[in-house]
């Protein structure tokens, strides 16, 4: 059969990986897709790099706008990253009636509503498996594999850099700054790590999954985001002693009051499978009302894992590109006219459990004062641990795990406790999820 | 839009679950599928049960043949189980131009080649997500999510009964027979447990995954199958001391000489995520050349988890049922004219690592004799452990882990070692996989 022609925008890490996997596995991919999928033109600023990677076997240009307008191109693969240029190119491609495959999570989290609306209007597909959790087919699982379910919540380790750092902090007992440097040396963290360690990258991916899970519009700008740079190695150790691991989780949950959409360090029971996801790996846990909890695990980044997702999209689009749009899977899992506008719950209204660490004077009555304040705010304690003060030490650490409560309650209680004269400095407060 | 009409064959555990999830989540499913999916007729031997479950809201019959011929039915859902009647009904349904959704692994493992050929000829879909690993969308992941990859191997915990038994044996140090009784009492094992504990059920599922992974025809009759009933709690303990867990794995692997297709108890490193899958849960680890290893985890059985998979298929078929067949995903991932006939490797030719346990006289020279025989057969040792003999005990256990070797070599060596006068009884030989 006639090959399908791909216009590749960007032949950097993921673009290069996509090109080389398409070539290496051409026979196998053709046997699945029913026709060859070939890159017929590449746009990149670095034309020399294009020539090196492709051996001059396909057309090269530094004008991406020419590619999205090229009448010989059936599908545009956008792998240049960034937001503004990518947005303009994707919208232009859609306008030219091209299907689009992208791995650009920032683009979709920020401009997804606009892009999907344009694609819908034009009757083209925008596929984005590579935008979340690299090679793990989590978008497909959510959009197609779990269609029977009312999705209750998703909790994911969806940023490899931060999971690598947290794994190393726990494993070696080292502070954040030291491990970050090591991660940068090993190439697991960027020179400017803010995007990863501050949780923004995870929030992009979470926003996409949340929209698909609940048929909601993309709500990245309302996500609560807290990174790991303030995390103290001591809390990782205390959590461990209590049977918990700390992971940077992206959590989205449907509640009666609205949708939770939050990224933050989270204590989870050490015996949960997802708590044992170590290093730069990703994993997404999805709770559906019929299926229960399912977990999807693999490499969340890198040239070939991401290429795996991009090419899976290419095969899907190849199969469906001449099919009537009604036969296609909707972009965000729900039919466009069946999307809803669920409110995102403010963080103060989120209900979860908490880990608290207090530095207190080691004298009688302190604990009574603290627990009285918690009780007054309706917060009950599940577990408590007090570190034995060292020789001559006059202060000690108290660690508490609470039952579920609303975040505004715990914040009120923390205010009251910090005002006690026996309590020193700020209270460390981390969120805890049982993930059951 | 006009509802799609389902003819449900069998309203037992999974059939009942499917009916009730379709009803409970009707709104959500319709929002995804684009049109309502309704059960319009149910065939079951127990008409009273049909009436109880459906409240008389749909037609009921005890004549399944009438349902597959019913002109008002668009899709047949076969959930009666068993092989002969199911085969006849599915073929008849295909003949009537109906699409079929089934969760019947035995049927597909044994008659899949015939059924898919008939469906192909008639231009109808046969979907079977529920046949493997319950609610985990592993068929979709393999068929669609990983299309970019040359799949190298799959290793799965795909039988919940045996995983529950192995978890309990390890956890409580109890022998197989005791734990089996407990599993039967709890409903995790059937009164006649042979089908599960002998590995046949796992082999059915493995055969289906193998066909999809490699574009090979269904080869269940050539699978090597070994169950867990002979497994000694002592070996679980020794394995643990060496850093391994024993799981009943279904393994299929592409090699230069043919495809491995085998189910047997397997030592795997305790730190692998899949080694920590406990109780009745299922997990499938898939190694692709581009994506690396990905893992899929969830409930592998039960009414609603399996219903989740059945309904996901129903939504897929609903979307595609009027689409041109060329737009559809091929039944076994590869286009029908691109399937191959790869030979299944005889077990004697399989290359893997081994765990050996020998009962030997506690005297000098024994170990030298044993290792000499292994060396002569080209087998090298990775690790060895000797139990300290008890007071007055004249024999002891030696445990060895070997490097990779061909099974015929290890069997030859075992023959030689068992012939040594210092070696008592049969040598316990288990296979070991690093899963990297």
Poorest-confidence range of B210-214, B304-308, B365-369?
A: B365-369
pLDDT digits (tens, 9 = 90+) for A379-396: 999 999 998 888 888 899
Q: How far is B370 from B378, CA to CA, in rounded Å? A: 13
Test B146 with A308 for CB contact under 8 angstroms.
yes
Residue B36 lies in a domain: yes
Q: Which A residues in the span 335-354 are in contact with B, Cβ-Cβ below 8 Å?
A: 335, 338
- Cα B341 to its chain centre, rounded Å, is 21
Rounded-to-integer distance, Cα A183 and Cα B261, Å: 40
Cβ contacts (< 8 Å) between A147 and chain B: which residues?
29, 32-33, 311-312, 315
Which site among B145, B318, B330, B333 would you substitute to test the A interface, given the most A Cβ atoms closer than 10 Å to its Cβ?
B145
pLDDT in tens, A168-194: 999 999 999 999 999 999 999 999 999
User: A148, B319: Cβ pair inside 8 Å?
Assistant: no
Span A267-288, mean pLDDT?
A: 98
- Give yes or no for residue B300 having a pLDDT over 90: yes
Asked if pLDDT for residue B178 goes beyond 90, the answer is: yes
High-pLDDT (> 90) share of chain A, %: 95
Q: Which residues of A participate in the annotated binding site for NADP(+)?
A: 9-16
Distance from CA of B49 to the nearest CA of A (A): 22
The binding site of B comprises: 9-16, 105, 190
Comparing alpha-carbon positions, the chain A residue that sits nearest to B323 is: A327
Residue B322, pLDDT > 90, answer no
Q: Are residues B110 and B144 in the same domain?
A: no
pLDDT at A387: 82
CATH number at residue A267: 3.30.360.10
Q: Is residue A366 part of a domain?
A: yes
CATH number for position A361: 3.30.70.260
Query: What distance in Å separates the CA atoms of residue A371 and residue A153, rounded to the nearest whole number?
Result: 31
Distance from CA of B253 to the nearest CA of A (A): 16
Which residue, of A127, A147, A171, is where some domain finishes?
A: A127
Put simply, the answer to whether B323 touches A319 (Cβ < 8 Å) is no
Instruction: For chain A, positions 10-29, list CB contacts with chain B under 8 A.
Output: 17, 21-22, 24-25, 28-29
CA torsion through residues B348, B354, B355, B360, sign: positive
Residue of chain A nearest B17, judged by CA positions: A290
List CB contacts (< 8 A) between A315 and chain B.
144, 147-148
Q: How many domains are contained in chain B?
A: 3
As a whole number, mean pLDDT of residues A250-256 equals: 97
Instruction: Cite the active site residues of A.
Output: 205
Q: Give the domain CATH number at A95.
A: 3.40.50.720
CB A145 within 8 A of CB A156: no
CB-CB: which of B134, B291, B333 is closest to A298?
A: B291
pLDDT at B240 over 90: yes
How many Å lie between the alpha carbon of B22 and the closest alpha carbon of chain A?
7
In a domain, A388, yes or no: yes
CB contact at 8 A, A40 and A107: no
3-state DSSP call for residue A324? coil
Interface contact A141, partner B, CB < 8 A: yes
Answer whether A293 sits within 8 Å of B298, measured CB to CB: yes
Question: At which of A76, A93, A127 does a domain end?
Answer: A127
Question: Of A171-180, A354-363, B380-389, B407-416, which range is least confident?
Answer: B380-389
| Nearest CB neighbour to A32, from listed B32, B309, B333 | B333
CA of B131, closest CA in chain A: separation in Å? 14
Same domain, B75 and B179: no
B151 and B268 together in one domain: yes
CB contact under 8 A, B25 and A328: no
The ipTM estimated for the assembled molecules is 0.97
Which residues is B225 bridged to in the sheet?
B263
pLDDT tier for residue B159 given thresholds of 50, 70 and 90: very high
Mean pLDDT of B396-407: 97
pLDDT band at B243 (very low <50, low <70, confident <90, very high): very high
Question: What mean pLDDT do residues B365-377 have?
Answer: 95
Query: Residue A288: inside a domain, yes or no?
Result: yes
Per-residue HEC secondary structure of B94-134 comes to HHCCCEEEECCHHHHHHHHHHHHHHHHHHCCCEECHHHCCC
Residue of B17, B137, B322 lying closest to A141 (CB–CB): B137
Instruction: List the single best residue of A1, A127, A294 to mutate versus B (max B Cβ within 10 A).
Output: A294
Beta carbons of B327 and A333 less than 8 Å apart = no
Least CB–CB distance from A297: residue in B30, B294, B326? B294
The pLDDT, as a whole number, for residue B392 is 85
List of chain B residues whose C-beta atoms are within 8 Å of the C-beta of residue A328: 319
* Neighboring chain B residues of A213 at a CB cutoff of 8 Å: none
Q: Do the domain assignments include residue B200?
A: yes
Question: For residue A134, which residues of chain B lie inside 8 Å, CB to CB?
Answer: 291
Phi-psi region of A419 (alpha: psi -120 to 50; beta: other; left: phi over 0): alpha
Sign, CA torsion A267/A268/A270/A276: negative
Nearest CA in chain A to B137: A145
Which chain A residues in 68-127 lie under 8 Å from chain B, judged by CB atoms?
Answer: none
Interface check B185 vs A, CB under 8 A: no
The C-alpha R_g of chain A, in whole angstroms, comes to 24
Q: Are B150 and B288 in contact (CB under 8 A)?
A: yes
Q: Is the minimum CB–CB distance between A289 and chain B shorter than 8 Å?
A: yes
Set of chain B residues whose Cβ sits within 8 Å of the Cβ of A307: 148, 290
The 8-class DSSP code of residue B216 comes to B
Query: pLDDT of A41-89, one tens digit each?
Result: 999 999 999 999 999 889 999 999 999 999 999 999 999 999 999 999 9
Output the DSSP codes for A136-188: S-HHHIIIIITTTS-EEEEEEE--HHHHHHHHHHHHH---HHHHHHHHHHHTS
Query: Hey, are the CB atoms on B148 and A311 less than 8 Å from each other?
Result: yes
Q: Write down the pLDDT at residue B393.
A: 87
Does residue A345 belong to any structural domain of this protein?
A: no
Instruction: Tell me the mean pLDDT in the region B85-103.
Output: 98
Residues A123 and A151 grouped into a single domain: no
pLDDT higher than threshold 90 for residue B1: no
**Within 13 Å and on the Cβ side, how many CA atoms surround A104?**
28
pLDDT of amino acid A330:
95
Structural tokens at position B134: 């319950």
Find the mean pLDDT for residues B221-240. Answer: 97
Q: Are B160 and B133 in contact (CB under 8 A)?
A: no
- pLDDT value for B390: 81
Closest CB to B137 among A146, A276, A315 = A146
- The pLDDT of residue A21 is 98
On whether residue A271 sits in a domain, the answer given is yes
The whole-number pLDDT of residue A414 equals 98
Residues A170 and A258 occupy one common structural domain: yes
Q: Which residue, of B272, B299, B326, is where some domain finishes?
A: B299
pLDDT at B102: 98
Q: What is the mean pLDDT of chain B?
A: 96
Pairing of strands B351-361, B395-402: antiparallel
Instruction: Give the whole-angstrom CA distance, residue B239 versus residue B217.
Output: 36
Which pLDDT score, from 0 to 100, does residue B47 have? 96
* CB pairs < 8 Å spanning A and B: 221
Instruction: For chain A, positions 259-288, list CB contacts with chain B under 8 A.
Output: 273, 276-277, 288
**A11 and A123 together in one domain:** yes
**Stretch B238-260: mean pLDDT:** 97
Determine the structural domain holding residue B413 and report its residue range: 350-432
A137–B294 CB contact, under 8 Å: yes
Count CA within 13 A, CB hemisphere, residue B197.
21
Of A24, A145, A305, the CB nearest to B312: A145
| Mean pLDDT, chain A, integer | 96
Interchain pair A292, B31: CB under 8 A: no
Q: Which two tokens stand for residue A25?
A: 């596995």
Are A286 and A255 members of one domain? yes
Beta bridge partners of B400: B356, B384
- Chain A residues closer than 8 Å to B333 by CB: 32
Cβ–Cβ below 8 Å for A148 and B277: no
B166 and B116 in one domain? no
| Same domain (yes/no): A395, A284 | no
Whether residues A167 and A34 share a domain: the answer is no
Rounded to 5°, angle at Cα A355 from A350 and A358: 125
Are B175 and B263 in a shared domain?
A: yes
> What chain B residue is nearest to A20 in terms of C-alpha separation?
B290
Is A293 in the same domain as A145?
yes
Alpha carbons A156 and A215: distance in angstroms, whole number: 18
Residue of A nearest to B134 (CA): A291
- A32 CB neighbours in chain B (<8 A) are 147, 215, 330, 333-335, 338
The model's pLDDT over A309-354, given as tens digits with 9 standing for 90+, comes to 999 999 999 999 889 999 999 999 999 999 999 999 999 999 999 9
In a domain, A133, yes or no: no
Q: Which of B205, B247, B253, B287 is catalytic?
A: B205
Name the closest residue on chain B to residue A324, using Cα atoms: B323
């Amino acid at each position: 059969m006639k090959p399908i022609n791909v216009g590749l925008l960007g032949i950097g890490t993921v673009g290069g990986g996509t090109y080389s996997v398409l070539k290496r596995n051409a026979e196998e991919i053709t046997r699945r897709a029913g026709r060859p999928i070939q890159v017929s033109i590449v746009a990149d600023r670095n034309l020399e790099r294009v020539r090196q990677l492709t051996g001059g076997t396909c057309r090269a240009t530094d004008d991406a706008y020419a590619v999205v307008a090229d009448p010989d191109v059936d599908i545009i693969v956008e792998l240049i990253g960034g937001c503004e240029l990518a947005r303009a190119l994707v919208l232009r491609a859609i306008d030219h009636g091209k299907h689009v495959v992208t791995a650009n999570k920032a683009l979709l989290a920020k401009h997804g509503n606009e892009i999907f609306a344009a694609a819908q209007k034009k009757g083209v597909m925008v596929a984005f498996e590579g935008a979340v959790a690299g090679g793990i087919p989590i978008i497909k699982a959510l959009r197609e594999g779990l269609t029977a379910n009312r999705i209750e919540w998703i909790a994911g380790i969806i940023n490899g850099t931060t999971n690598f750092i947290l794994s190393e902090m726990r494993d070696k007992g080292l502070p954040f700054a030291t491990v970050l440097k090591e991660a940068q040396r090993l190439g697991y963290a960027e020179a400017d790590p803010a995007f990863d360690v501050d949780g923004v990258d995870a929030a992009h991916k979470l926003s996409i999954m949340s929209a698909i899970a609940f048929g909601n519009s993309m709500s990245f700008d309302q996500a609560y985001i807290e990174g790991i740079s303030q995390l103290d190695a001591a809390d990782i150790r205390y959590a461990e002693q209590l049977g918990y691991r700390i992971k940077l989780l992206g959590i989205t949950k449907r509640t009666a009051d609205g949708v939770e959409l939050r990224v933050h360090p989270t204590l989870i029971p050490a015996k949960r499978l997802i708590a044992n996801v170590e290093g730069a790996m990703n994993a997404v846990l999805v709770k559906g009302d019929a299926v229960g909890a399912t977990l999807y695990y693999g490499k969340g980044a890198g040239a070939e894992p991401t290429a795996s997702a991009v090419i899976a999209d290419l095969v899907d689009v190849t199969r469906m590109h001449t099919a009537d749009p009604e036969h296609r899977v909707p972009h965000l899992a729900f039919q466009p006219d069946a999307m809803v506008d669920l409110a995102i719950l403010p963080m103060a209204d989120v209900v979860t459990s908490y880990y608290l660490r207090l530095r207190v004077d080691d004298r009688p009555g302190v604990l009574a004062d603290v627990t009285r304040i918690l009780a007054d705010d309706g917060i009950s304690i599940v577990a408590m641990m007090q570190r034995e003060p060292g020789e001559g030490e006059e202060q000690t650490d108290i660690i508490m795990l609470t039952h579920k409560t609303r975040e505004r309650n715990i914040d009120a209680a923390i205010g009251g406790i910090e005002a006690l004269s026996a309590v020193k400095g700020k209270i460390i407060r981390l969120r805890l999820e049982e993930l059951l």
